[in-house]
Chain A
């Protein structure tokens, strides 16, 4: 295989997914060469198209949503209004011309349109059909609705994240959507693709987002089923390390706009924190040295890990007195040079514009989008030395490739496609 061939070149994906958990999986396929055809319609467009953020001068433009554009790079976009019989006919043709079909609706939707694995498996046994419903295709809650926002709390992670004296508000994001559920889905899809390459046979991949979310709770399940112990929120601490936490640092005398739950807030960039993690005696000694070996570090109550754990509240207070006068970057560099794991709690500005490491590795990829302008996109989360992926184009405009797909792939005539616009099949 030549170096400039992308891994999934020649693989066509008929992509009915929306929001994040499905689209990021198909983004990874598209960024590695698959021809992913994203299907939407004005009746049923990907809702991320109008969710914030959007630039002020582009407000209301469905092609300019940053949330959507980031998760749909390298894909083709077509509109197909599935409420019309002709659209279902076209969808069927496209499915039969594809290697992989992916959807993440409620099972209700695909049943209604009769777009199911059962229907296509016998006609095209080499097809890989992928369903990614919230809770599965069977069971008493199969029609329960939700988004990543609900799967994170339902799956148990929200209950376990945060400070013990605070309610279980979760991760501040729809966490499981962005890596766990889309990543698991990608793993399953490529496993099926490799199996097909070896045997010629397709298969049915089903991922219940709920099950996938419960799979990443580390030992919370086993500790409960084996020892009857129910884990609770423990803030930023873990059982086998101390100090292990987040410490307030010196703010910057520089204007910025924070956006909070209450809306935008102008002020100085003063919400700055660092993290430090000490796992053994050696690191603890190095840590104390960076602090200049103040007398309190010699106190017997801070001698062993057990001592440190026992007096962790006081320990954290004393450490913060030191961190408060320093920038998190300064602390990170000093600690790292001494061999102590430490870092900056970076915000998006830090990461996108100031982190020299992210910049050096070129993680964010800027693409010129026809309507949104030059925009930053998440790049490749894994880098292959011989067949690296690439973001081959920005996210598609609504319906940008409808004609291309219908005429070049499905062999429809110009007249037919025009009629489809008239009949609101393409809407």
Chain B
């Protein structure tokens, strides 16, 4: 039987985040935290981001909203009114964590800055996810996902050298900032468990993506060389037989980091597709197969250039022809059986059909009663044996838990609620 315990079942989170922090509060909610999404009356702006369920443009049917708000509860609250702020203060007293993404200073101006919140609840952990952090000359600058990817250096590395740099798909700066904010919150929660108070967690989107520049910073620091976009190879400089290659029905990626050319050539040979490479060019085979030799060779641009021009071409030619004669699945499975480092470039369809994800039970069904439908969601990023990740319920409807939270938990009277509703507070 699966454990009913959750890692964060005792933790309440107030979610005042926009796109920058939605994944953070989802991570917390899926680990069991009681995440209360604070929405504007009428619905959070992110409910209007598509795609939509069956393409019906409706704030209750945004798949973007569904994806990032699993397990959360929702109340509506107008923060721009003093009544609204008073209610928020009541909620703050019951909360362990608050996640916000306002420009620095916004909460302070409304009497809800970290110092004020701390007075209300010394145990509160406030996580602020902003484009550039709480301090510094650009702290008031605006950034969308793309601006953070650009300023953090990862865009510059993506794409072909002759093209403009590429945006990474799927709001990766928002994801990375959210992941780091969650790391910070988890650490702060642990500190609290040791007897510590709450604290302020400052996350800058720009800094959050910076480590994903891979070796670019160190390449500049140690060699004064500026790493550029790598095109097919994925590496600077390109290594023989590594990178993205076309096959019969799509693409595969090869990363033969460990000297496996002999194995690869035997595979090609077994299908009569290695020509005379092994007989005629065994010195090149030896070179290719010795990954240390390749690394040393790559360090010497001149010798390496000669190698690529004079010795490597027949290998490249045969390899490409071999790959083109197979499907990505044949190559992926065939290579892995030979323990060669090759994977397919999966399409979404490939992922849904992937036998490993199926065996792991990765995709999970979530009931949506209002839609009379069960939708298949991406699943657990990690498995904890005692306190498992789980989607317990779908994302909330607009203000779905107003009554439950305001009346039952905060003890507001029904008449007060009606009044607040009339004033546009909730």
Contact B206 A161 (CB under 8 A): no
Q: Pick from B55, B219, B349 the residue with the most CB of A within 10 Å.
A: B219
Given contacts A193-B190, A261-B233, contact A24 B211 (CB under 8 A): yes
Within 8 Å by CB of B135, from A261, A271, A360, A364, lies A360
B1 contacts the other chain (Cβ, under 8 Å)?
no
Contacts of A386 in B (CB 8 A): 191, 196-197, 199-200
Contact with A along B238-264 (1 / 0, CB 8 A): 100011101000011101010000000
> In the complex, which residues 164-221 of chain B have their Cβ closer than 8 Å to any Cβ of chain A?
164-172, 175-176, 179-184, 186-191, 193-197, 199-204, 206-221
Contact B223 A161 (CB under 8 A): no
Contact B382 A206 (CB under 8 A): yes
B387 contacts the other chain (Cβ, under 8 Å)?
yes
Contact A184 B168 (CB under 8 A): no
Q: Pick from B235, B251, B360, B376 the residue with the most CB of A within 10 Å.
A: B360
Distance in angstroms between the alpha carbons of A218 and B199 in the assembled complex: 30
Contact A47 B257 (CB under 8 A): yes
A302 contacts the other chain (Cβ, under 8 Å)?
no
A67 contacts the other chain (Cβ, under 8 Å)?
yes
Q: How many residues of B contact A (CB 8 A)?
A: 162
Contacts of A233 in B (CB 8 A): 169
Contact B63 A223 (CB under 8 A): yes
Within 8 Å by CB of B355, from A140, A169, A244, lies A140
A170 contacts the other chain (Cβ, under 8 Å)?
yes
Within 8 Å by CB of B176, from A183, A188, A194, lies A183
A105 contacts the other chain (Cβ, under 8 Å)?
no
Interface size range on A against B: 35 or more
Question: Which residue on chain B has the smallest CB distance to residue A32?
Answer: B187
Distance in angstroms between the alpha carbons of A348 and B143 in the assembled complex: 19
Pick out which of these stretches binds chain B: A78-86, A92-100, A208-216: A208-216
Contact B214 A212 (CB under 8 A): no
Contact B221 A240 (CB under 8 A): no
Contacts of A172 in B (CB 8 A): 157-159, 166, 229-230, 234
Distance in angstroms between the alpha carbons of A28 and B211 in the assembled complex: 12
Distance in angstroms between the alpha carbons of A406 and B114 in the assembled complex: 45
B414 contacts the other chain (Cβ, under 8 Å)?
no
Given contacts A150-B255, A194-B7, A345-B165, contact A169 B218 (CB under 8 A): no
Pick out which of these stretches binds chain B: A52-60, A292-300, A397-405, A416-424: A52-60
Contact A376 B377 (CB under 8 A): no
Within 8 Å by CB of B341, from A140, A146, A193, lies A146
Distance in angstroms between the alpha carbons of A259 and B227 in the assembled complex: 5
> In the complex, which residues 123-169 of chain A have their Cβ closer than 8 Å to any Cβ of chain B?
135-136, 138-147, 149-151, 153-163, 166-169
Given contacts A217-B170, A240-B49, A361-B133, contact A179 B180 (CB under 8 A): yes
Distance in angstroms between the alpha carbons of A1 and B190 in the assembled complex: 11
Top-6 shortest CB links A-B: A66-B218, A382-B184, A139-B359, A1-B196, A183-B179, A160-B169
